[in-house]
């Protein structure tokens, strides 16, 4: 049996807000995402889904519990090790694209590959291939300001997959788009994830989109339950 792409075991997280009572956001959260599995994370606003994704993606640390990515134990690892694993094994997509405005669509996908040691010519070929796969290959030389919202988000998807991660984490990736564009962008995301065998944990408020994933998890009052 292969190692899970993501394993969280007993994750706890509490924030001290400066008020008399601290806020316990995550209360012993455990989940397992297998390679090639696409999981929806559904939660009300403020329930802690972004915190959960940040801990899963090594952007934040838990107060207690274990995080494993691709069989690698991440709990207690150095910042250098966590950064290396995050760069090579994890892709992130957010509600807002966060593309670098001074670079073209192609360059936005090339840059993370260069940071990961990929040769420039190979990085350019992969970037062009990814853009073509999601239908924006003809916009490769355009800067973000010249792209529509849906095009920007598809470029952001490509950037997240630039270093061929085994785990994709997405936080409301279509939440800033109109329904028609959201459908187009989400379909591109699913097609790309399934064609590459990615494991994905995707937070969304859209129950129709969530129903198209392999399974649904609900986060409420700091705990997970099956949808």
pLDDT at 54: 92
The kind and range of the H/E element at 131 are: helix 120-133
Per-residue confidence of the chain (227 residues) as pLDDT tens digits? 578 999 999 999 988 766 667 788 899 999 999 988 999 999 877 778 889 999 999 989 999 999 999 888 998 888 889 888 888 899 888 877 789 999 999 999 999 999 889 999 999 999 999 898 888 899 999 999 999 888 898 899 889 989 989 899 998 887 777 787 777 777 877 877 788 778 999 998 888 888 989 999 999 888 888 86
Distances (CA, A) of 223 to 44, 47, 216, 217: 12, 9, 14, 10
pLDDT digits (tens, 9 = 90+) for 66-79: 999 988 899 888 88
Give the global pTM: 0.86
pLDDT at 226: 83
Roughly how many angstroms between the first and final C-alpha of the chain, as a whole number?
Answer: 25
Token pair, residue 147, equals: 């792209």
Q: Please report how many Cα atoms fall inside a 13 Å half-sphere around the Cα of residue 158, on the Cβ side.
A: 32
Contact yes or no for 133/140 (Cβ under 8 A): no
Domains and CATH numbers, the chain: 34-62+83-226 (3.40.50.300)
pLDDT at 22: 77
pLDDT at 227: 66
């Amino acid at each position: 049996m292969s190692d899970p792409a993501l394993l969280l075991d007993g994750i706890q997280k509490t924030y001290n807000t400066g008020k008399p009572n601290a806020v316990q956001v995550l209360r012993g959260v455990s989940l397992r995402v297998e390679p090639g599995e696409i999981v929806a994370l559904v939660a009300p606003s403020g329930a802690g889904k972004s915190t959960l994704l940040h801990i899963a993606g090594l952007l934040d640390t838990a107060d207690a519990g274990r995080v494993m990515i691709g069989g690698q134990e991440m709990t207690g690892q150095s910042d250098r090790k966590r950064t290396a694993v995050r760069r090579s094994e994890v892709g992130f997509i957010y509600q807002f694209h966060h593309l670098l405005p001074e670079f073209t669509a192609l360059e936005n996908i090339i840059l993370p590959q260069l940071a990961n040691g990929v040769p420039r010519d190979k990085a350019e070929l992969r970037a062009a291939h990814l853009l073509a796969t999601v239908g924006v290959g003809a916009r490769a030389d355009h800067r973000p300001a010249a792209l529509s919202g849906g095009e920007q988000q598809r470029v952001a998807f490509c950037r997240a997959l630039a270093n061929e991660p085994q785990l994709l984490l997405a936080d409301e990736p279509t939440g800033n788009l109109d329904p028609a564009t959201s459908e187009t962008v989400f379909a591109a995301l699913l097609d790309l994830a399934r064609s590459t065998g990615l494991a994905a944990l995707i937070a969304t408020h859209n129950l129709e989109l969530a129903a198209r994933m392999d399974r649904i998890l609900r986060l409420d009052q700091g705990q997970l339950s099956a949808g």
